[in-house]
Chains A and B, each alone.
Chain A
């Protein structure tokens, strides 16, 4: 326990005052000649034990009363670990987890975890007299200095979003802020529900974060306000897929729905309301276990009645629309609804610029076969010499097997990538010295026996495993000729001796990858063992189509966050469905965005629905060696995080005085005198 006026604790020695007074009183005794000693001796013998105990009790209560008075005037804090930081000069950095799981309440309709944490932090900072408050929220990730702690409760930047949080990045931003502002000692307040997907305990940045915090010279205290109630009664609904397919003369919307809950509580029928074009329909899904899936739920659609992304009647060619599914309210309103968009699938158009006919033929064959019979694919083959005139407006992918473009051709490719298109460069026979996004080609090298890929990213990206979990047979490829890749980037696959096979160049938008060989039989067996090449290129087309298709569904944050293919503000996206949200945060809130006839449904990421809570020892490990405190909070809890507890001290003082008074009360007077006087009356 610490105090707002700790210097008043210097008065604590006066706790000994009752003892000193008692001793002085004993020392100032009077001597009296006394005749009736026999009664004194009898009384002393009778009351020795009780009298001693009573005397000690009275002394203890008096000391307790004095101590309580000193504590009360020292203004103790209920969780006063900020004695050294709690002055007016202290700066507080508040890291706010705005992920959808923070909207969970203790009861349906109650105060959310986020609102509770916000209120408690405001109360605590006001109690501590903290004047400098810096907010780092999970959406922007950048510091925002507030005028006062109370502003924390009023800012739109503290409202919940559908985007997940990235605690390691937020902590890195907090450390950077503290390093830049070394004038005042500070504290970091983390308001979070400790979800694994937000905290990323396996992230390699954590050791560096710990080291950074420990190295801050003025000292930093980390205060974690954890609301870890997993919300076991919570149900979440999600649209996993919405496709528009022709049925007879009309169209039919096929919805794939998923219901999920934290704990199996027996079978239950959940009414799911589908809202489409202003019409509502309800279907019941039986949920047994923790997850239920409804596949290809068909809803007839009249394309003429649909609205396009611009709110205008859509044309039959585009045939796009949006809708919403909802389930009854529960403790977490954020996952009770999901938005979806649908539209006629666009043509999977690929432009191939290749100088090697054998490689070109293989590439043309791979990208020309769509992965679904309902999809259409188109391939435009352009000779390198004619590349300056190629049309990339409707292309999703550009395959470039020629010297890296320069001049006007380079500008065309740059625009294509900035629009969100994908480019895969393959090595030319004679590489030039040019580079794209800082990455270029080196020299060819031949390998006999052929090289096999040593490692590749199988968890995500273009070489990730299949939906069934099986890994792609990347390791079975035989690479006979390899062209060196120079420049920075992320290797998605490497050959022995750390030779890059597939390197992704750093780009804010779009995707640029360099494949170190070609599908030509002379260079590799990518064509003959075509599964890897097919998956690689079809996934690249899928990514590129996001910038071309009329409707898509995206995870919050993915659409507008760092590295996203499109920037909602720049592209003129506006929200046409969903709860109102600041335009600066478009793409982070659930809803539907529209721009120039294209629709994007923004929903929380799937991992938000079932992310477990960090175990206690995991949190301990994350902050190991740091000065930190963890406070378990309950959503809607009325208690304050830090509050002055002088009232209990005052109550203790009063109780001690009352008890002391009771113990000091003289015993019931005997009637000795009265009886003697009565007998004296004649």
Chain B
């Protein structure tokens, strides 16, 4: 399925094999084109009983429950749950700020690792995978498809994406909400350095379209600690003007602003029911994904 595995530096075969034991499941019913392992809002032909329904002319007589007809002299049709496949849409922020990393790993590299692993897992269980790399607009877009050849295109897109420019993620999320017509699992990987109100609107739009949204909020430890000592000239990675400051003077205010912003983000994701994961770039990626997959597996069953 993955012929040039050695060239994908952001994929770890060991981690892939270990995570393969846990299925990638949606928390909401998905509408797929083929049968799969994800719940569907429609009745289907699985072995899981759903309900009895009165027979109407035209129904397949093979689905008539004869035992019920024998006991009650009424015709009922036995219905079963339908299982379908999943559309996994990966939304990777590729703005300039994604190129930051103080621990030896940049934010975009961490995002590649998560996105690549999830794409591989989804493809392996027969789900469709697509990707949207977004900065000031959609830089690269691949719609979800099921075939393994498409997975290679997705991985190529991940490998080739270069962080640059400003981030207009909310606008792009609105666009994605409109273009992905059927229910899908939308995984967003971003630093979310934007106005929380704009982000709230975009996530609400996705929820309105009944998408299952997972959000990987990638932050560098240095961005949280902000423990610079010397006077520093900060160069904006998204092309804004530089700023000179003595970190010791503004450290407290910085942390205060950061905390307020994080609180706002947490409020939004809680309100919207988003599967939110705040990730530090020095976190273990495998543990993070295992926690993600297990969390989704335990939440399965709601239709």
Across the interface, which residues of B come within 8 angstroms of A34, CB to CB? 100, 234-237
- The answer to whether the Cβ of A312 comes within 8 Å of any Cβ in the partner chain is no
- The answer to whether the Cβ of A55 comes within 8 Å of any Cβ in the partner chain is yes
- The answer to whether the Cβ of B248 comes within 8 Å of any Cβ in the partner chain is yes
Query: Interface SS of chain A: helix, strand, loop or mixed?
Result: helix
Determine which of A32, A38, A55 lies in contact with B249 in the assembled complex, contact meaning CB atoms within 8 Å.
Answer: A55
Minimal beta-carbon separation of A47 from chain B (angstroms):
4
Give the complex CA separation of A37 and B254 in angstroms: 10
Q: Is the CB of B234 within 8 A of A26?
A: no
- The answer to whether the Cβ of B245 comes within 8 Å of any Cβ in the partner chain is yes
Q: Is the CB of A40 within 8 A of B254?
A: yes
Q: How does the 8 Å CB contact mask read for A38-64 relative to B, with 1 for contact and 0 for none?
A: 111111101100010011000000000
Known: A667-B251, A673-B224, A682-B291. A32 touches B234 (CB 8 A): yes
Most B CB contacts (10 A, CB to CB) among A31, A34, A42 go to: A34
Across the interface, which residues of A come within 8 angstroms of B242, CB to CB? 31
- The answer to whether the Cβ of A666 comes within 8 Å of any Cβ in the partner chain is yes
Chain A interface residue count: which class?
A: 35 or more
Q: Is the CB of B100 within 8 A of A33?
A: yes
Give the complex CA separation of A671 and B257 in angstroms: 12
- The answer to whether the Cβ of A467 comes within 8 Å of any Cβ in the partner chain is no
- The answer to whether the Cβ of A570 comes within 8 Å of any Cβ in the partner chain is no
Q: Is the CB of B232 within 8 A of A32?
A: yes
- The answer to whether the Cβ of B109 comes within 8 Å of any Cβ in the partner chain is no
Give the complex CA separation of A667 and B235 in angstroms: 25
Closest residue of chain B to A667 (Cβ to Cβ) is: B252
- The answer to whether the Cβ of A203 comes within 8 Å of any Cβ in the partner chain is no
Give the complex CA separation of A602 and B238 in angstroms: 104
Determine which of A25, A37, A55, A676 lies in contact with B230 in the assembled complex, contact meaning CB atoms within 8 Å.
Answer: A25
Q: Is the CB of B235 within 8 A of A33?
A: yes
Minimal beta-carbon separation of A98 from chain B (angstroms):
67
- The answer to whether the Cβ of A680 comes within 8 Å of any Cβ in the partner chain is yes
Across the interface, which residues of B come within 8 angstroms of A666, CB to CB? 248, 251-252
- The answer to whether the Cβ of B181 comes within 8 Å of any Cβ in the partner chain is no
Interface residues in B, total, Cβ within 8 A? 51
Q: Is the CB of A680 within 8 A of B280?
A: yes
Determine which of A35, A47, A677 lies in contact with B193 in the assembled complex, contact meaning CB atoms within 8 Å.
Answer: A35
Q: Is the CB of A673 within 8 A of B221?
A: yes
Minimal beta-carbon separation of A30 from chain B (angstroms):
5
Minimal beta-carbon separation of A383 from chain B (angstroms):
115
Q: Is the CB of B257 within 8 A of A39?
A: yes
Q: Is the CB of A47 within 8 A of B250?
A: yes
Across the interface, which residues of A come within 8 angstroms of B240, CB to CB? 37
Across the interface, which residues of A come within 8 angstroms of B208, CB to CB? none
- The answer to whether the Cβ of B223 comes within 8 Å of any Cβ in the partner chain is yes
List chain B positions with a Cβ less than 8 A from chain A: 96-100, 107, 191, 193, 219-221, 223-226, 228, 230-238, 240, 242-246, 248-259, 261-262, 278-280, 283, 287, 291
Could you list some 28 contacts between A and B, CB below 8 A? A25-B231, A31-B232, A32-B228, A33-B100, A34-B237, A35-B96, A35-B99, A35-B193, A35-B220, A35-B238, A37-B237, A40-B243, A42-B253, A43-B250, A43-B254, A43-B257, A44-B243, A51-B249, A666-B248, A667-B251, A670-B252, A670-B255, A672-B258, A672-B259, A673-B225, A679-B278, A680-B280, A682-B287
Besides A37-B238, A43-B253, 13 more A-B contacts (Cβ < 8 Å) are A29-B233, A32-B228, A35-B100, A35-B220, A36-B193, A39-B254, A39-B258, A46-B257, A54-B249, A667-B252, A668-B252, A675-B259, A680-B278
Closest 7 CB pairs of A and B: A667-B252, A43-B253, A35-B97, A670-B255, A42-B257, A43-B254, A35-B100
